Structure 1
């Protein structure tokens, strides 16, 4: 792919031309375009992308379930090499290998308390399509292109990335597998290890065995859960779950989930449940099968306005808990390297989830992900 630089005489700024997969029309395939990447800001890092994961959240924005101004460059699981740094950047240096994760402001009460996933400006910095000052990093001629998605917009050969989205990783690990740690894998693992924190010997069930659910299964093993149940409708994914550490699997198309969960737990219910689907009926089933003082957590994205009903009469005596979780409630700069260390020790084999695609076949990657053929697609530049 061709990369050139030029000087735009009208604005007097150095411009890099990049190749990007652009979402131009809702519910339509990505189009490849040559776009102008603007001058690096003082708090940004220029990254040459090596690979980027394909996530369900990208599809939600592409299809305008969560609206973003079009045209837009999405992508939020990038991995690459630092080419330049802004004058204020201290977290990385030129030549560093990096994973790109979610953006945050760094100064609100949540950020300074170690909870950047719940940054007060999280929506604007991750879904707004612009920098905080309203500018975009990408243009198609004179047309602004929504960018800085999750502080990065990694469906592009190069990206100006917010410093807080950049995580330095070991150079001895293949960058082509690391991108998904920035969101999907971090979300599933973090939901278990950072939020639910199950006790050794406890029971855990995950609904949905895509990248997030599979990562949660592996994390439950790391945490010491001894009953780990995976629920899905695809037998091949359930078979993989068993190799990742699940002790039981349930196909919700052919089995009654509640009956099976009670059988597995001796009618006591599960201590911890994680819903990765965002489907109200699934979340309701998860809550109904909790043990006393059990906790159910939701990480699956649903259309704004989606609601679920919980029984609050008899369940009052159970003292159960419900929480929502974003990005695994993690601090990416510490949690992502921790996951890499677990992987190196053979305790977190997330690479088993990955299927690689050339960047030119990004639309096939999305299609095969949506059809359940691939658990975690990664496009390679």
Structure 2
């Protein structure tokens, strides 16, 4: 069938809107007509060739849509079901079997290769292969073939245009706080970076009933929104030393900290903001080879704990419904930082995300 897709063609190039050919869904695949897709920093990372994903390729990994048809062997969804799409895992390695699929031993190859296991792709352009199956989905296409393990069935009463970001960025921030840090009621928590992942972590801190919630960023408008969403304190780290201000605010340093930036200097600032036996989570994606200095001589005396977190260490099929319930109860208003764009304006959406104009862009088909 003919589909309309945004194709990454090489570093520095805007995505090209093209008509492609899409195959019938193969074994274990679900054909989904997209309603919306979030735009995530990871999409920009792949587009900019930080990872060795072959070009051309259809990106997108926060899809939301309706099942058109299913391939052989699919049992969990059927035509007409509303679905959200998340990351792809093997389902058989030790991490998957133990309920930590985000640490699947095949995670990188499955999510970033742009190919099925047999080397084929679902898309083609005049007979030439175009990469597919990014995060098992490649949701920057009007219709896409998605691996069944990436598909989460959701109630048809919830708006798909709104829910798309739950599949990656929102679950990453929320999962870091609720699953990995397991923040306690009455505790203190700081989030470095008030983007979509950071705002989701902030909202999760509210769900966890943290008493002190600090947001750190360099954009005042984002800090203003963080305050509206529940941050008790905000810090512009361009204007003052964040770690020093945090220790002044809390009197001892924070119990929990989240770095959503992947910036080596901010990572160090996060560690410096911790109190005794504090727990820090790094969720921000950095280029391979990025290193950060840690004063192990002093840090060991604090008993600090550092967790490296992928996708919030969530099981999407159980965590996404939890987030939907929290949203419906008015306890997780992530819609406050989403802005919708027509699919044809996808490059503008990328630009607005990169320059800070929009916290979470969602393209709507």
Structure 1 and Structure 2 fold alike (TM over 0.5): yes
Answer yes or no: is the 8 Å Cα contact 2:244–2:273 preserved in 1.
no
Matched, 1:215 2:210: no
Matched, 1:380 2:344: no
Q: CA–CA distance in 2 between the matches of 1:212 and 1:91?
A: 29
1:365 maps to 349
**Which string of whole-angstrom CA distances, capped at 9 and with x for unpartnered residues, describes residues 55-84 of structure 1?**
010001111122210001000000000010
Q: Secondary structure at the match of 1:178?
A: helix
Unaligned stretches of 5+ in structure 2?
Answer: none
| TM-score normalised by the chain length of structure 2 | 0.99
Answer yes or no: is the 8 Å Cα contact 1:189–1:328 preserved in 2.
yes
Match of 1:47 among 19, 29, 32: 32
**Count of paired positions:** 365
**Which string of whole-angstrom CA distances, capped at 9 and with x for unpartnered residues, describes residues 284-324 of structure 1?**
01111211111111110111100001001122211111111
Task: Tell me by how many angstroms 1:102 deviates.
Answer: 0.2
Off by >4 Å, runs of 4+ in structure 1: none
Match of 1:337 among 321, 339, 347: 321
Q: CA–CA distance in 2 between the matches of 1:120 and 1:371?
A: 34
Q: Secondary structure at the match of 1:75?
A: coil
Task: Tell me by how many angstroms 1:146 deviates.
Answer: 1.2
Q: Secondary structure at the match of 1:201?
A: coil
Q: CA–CA distance in 1 between the matches of 2:191 and 2:349?
A: 24
Q: Secondary structure at the match of 1:139?
A: strand
2:156 maps to 171
Q: CA–CA distance in 1 between the matches of 2:298 and 2:309?
A: 26
1:204 maps to 189
| TM-score normalised by the chain length of structure 1 | 0.95
Bigger shift: residues 84-93 or 291-300 = 84-93
2:129 maps to 144
Answer yes or no: is the 8 Å Cα contact 2:10–2:55 preserved in 1.
yes
Bigger shift: residues 314-323 or 234-243 = 314-323
Answer yes or no: is the 8 Å Cα contact 1:204–1:270 preserved in 2.
yes
Q: CA–CA distance in 1 between the matches of 2:324 and 2:20?
A: 33
Task: Tell me by how many angstroms 1:132 deviates.
Answer: 1.4
Task: Tell me by how many angstroms 1:87 deviates.
Answer: 2.4
Unaligned stretches of 5+ in structure 1?
Answer: 1-15
2:298 maps to 314
